[in-house]
Amino acid sequence: VGGSKATLYGYFKSKDELFIAVINDAASKQFRPIFAALDRDTHALPEALQRFGESTLEFLCTEAAIQMQRAIIAEAGRSDIGLRFFEMGPQKARHDLAHFLEGQMALGRLRRADPLLVAIQLIALLECETVTPCLFGVVQRLSKAQIRQAVQRALGTFLAAHGSAAMAGPPPPPAS
């Protein structure tokens, strides 16, 4: 970009503002295409959600994304940075996913329920076996195969709970 720190900080009220702007920009660039692809996906719901889950987790489980989440969590108790990040990132993603899921409910592919709650549950299922262990350093890196299998298991549970009768399929692979 060029310029001095003073010039850069002049555009923002604080370092927190700058930090949030940088994170929001990076996350937006990553997630905008993922959600756009989900909205355009003409495949069956399980395949569309599989691609969504894999793309999302391939980003969220990168070292850079894990470090960013750790930094935000560490700072959350001292400022409103956690709240502001949550509103611009995870909360927006929840609402975008809820909008998609509501459309699937209208088409009869998912049982009718609160779309936002259903989105929150899907995200939790996707992250519990992947992002959470990465955040705590239990897992350093997940392979594409591990992510694919974790998404399959998450979707097996999700579709068993929320899928219409027509969505029933084979059980997901066991955890390794």
What is the rounded CA–CA span in Å between residue 172 and residue 74? 35
Q: Considering only residues 133 and 174, tell me which one the structure prediction assigns the higher pLDDT.
A: 133
Q: Where are the domains of the chain?
A: 13-163
Q: What is the pLDDT of residue 36?
A: 77
Q: What is the pLDDT of residue 144?
A: 97
Cβ-Cβ contacts under 8 Å for 23 (sequence gap 6 or more)? 68, 72, 85, 89
Judge whether residue 171 has pLDDT over 60. Answer: no
What is the mean pLDDT of the segment spanning 33-57? 85
Long-range contacts of 4-9 (CB under 8 A, 24+ apart): none
What is the mean pLDDT of the segment spanning 121-137? 97
Which architecture, in CATH terms, is 13-163?
Answer: Orthogonal Bundle (1.10)
Structure tokens, 142: 């997940």
What pTM value is reported for the model? 0.81
Alpha-carbon torsion, ordered 59, 64, 70, 76, to 10 deg = -90
* pLDDT tens readout for residues 57-114: 999 999 999 998 998 899 888 888 888 888 888 898 999 999 999 999 999 999 999 9
Q: Which of 23-27, 114-118, 166-170 ranks highest by mean pLDDT?
A: 114-118
| Mean pLDDT, rounded, of the chain | 86
Residue 160: pLDDT band with limits 50, 70, 90:
very high
